[in-house]
Amino acid sequence: MAVREILILPDKRLRLVSEPIKRVDAGIRKLVEDLFETMYAAPGIGLAAIQVGIAKRIFTADLSKKEEDRQPQVFINPEITWASEEKSVREEGCLSIPDYYEDIERSAAMKVKYLDLDGKTQETEAKDLFAACIQHEIDHLNGVLFIDYLSKLKRDRITKKFTKAAKTAKKVEA
């Protein structure tokens, strides 16, 4: 297992649409281990493979609290099969956009179909934070970031801030 580097905005790879996984094999299982280790180290509640530079349709999630036992979940080739018309608004953040949070409106409940680590089809119903997490991570697989739900002005402002920070970091490294 290894903690991988998380891509940070404005990295263009975050906008890639991830490819479906054809087979759940040892390479995918290793990727899942790394995703969990990276997600827990960050710390976060979800991490899509594209956030570590792997354009595959897979993400990990664990909504357990620090004092609870971990409840790791893996979603391979996830697809939303139903989403409620009822919406809910909650504050979201993203490991690829560190220290920036904003209220985002999403479906309050949904169903997702996916493959598990044994390659078997599963379907899960989710609501509240779990539903928001799944929708957020599936967005990543489609090249969408949570800031895309904001006004153009806010989105441009945050993108500019992270672009400037990335340029400053490159100058420091040089």
Q: What is the domain-level CATH number for residue 95?
A: 3.90.45.10
State yes or no: pLDDT of 67 exceeds 90. no
If one counts the domains in the chain, the total is 1
Per-residue pLDDT reduced to its tens digit, 77-125: 999 999 999 999 999 999 999 999 999 999 999 999 999 999 999 999 9
Within a domain: 2: no
**CA separation, residue 126 to residues 102, 123, 135, 162 (Å):** 21, 10, 10, 32
**What is the H or E stretch that residue 148 is in?**
none
Give CA angle at 76 (111, 60), nearest 5°: 85
Q: Is residue 144 part of a domain?
A: yes
Is the preceding peptide bond at 43 cis, omega within 30 degrees of 0?
yes
**pLDDT tier at 174 (50, 70, 90 boundaries)?**
low
Q: What CA–CA distances, in Å, run from 107 to 20, 45, 90, 130, 162?
A: 24, 18, 11, 11, 28
pLDDT confidence tier of residue 75, bands split at 50, 70 and 90 = very high
Domain with 89, as residue range(s), is 12-173
Instruction: State the Cα–Cα distance between residues 30 and 52, nearest whole angstrom.
Output: 13
Token look-up 């595959």 returns 56
Give the residue numbers annotated as catalytic, written as ranges: 137
Q: What is the pLDDT of residues 13-29, one digit of tens each?
A: 999 999 999 999 999 99
> Taking the model in full, what pTM does it have?
0.95
Locus of tokens 């054809």: 22
| 123 in a structural domain | yes
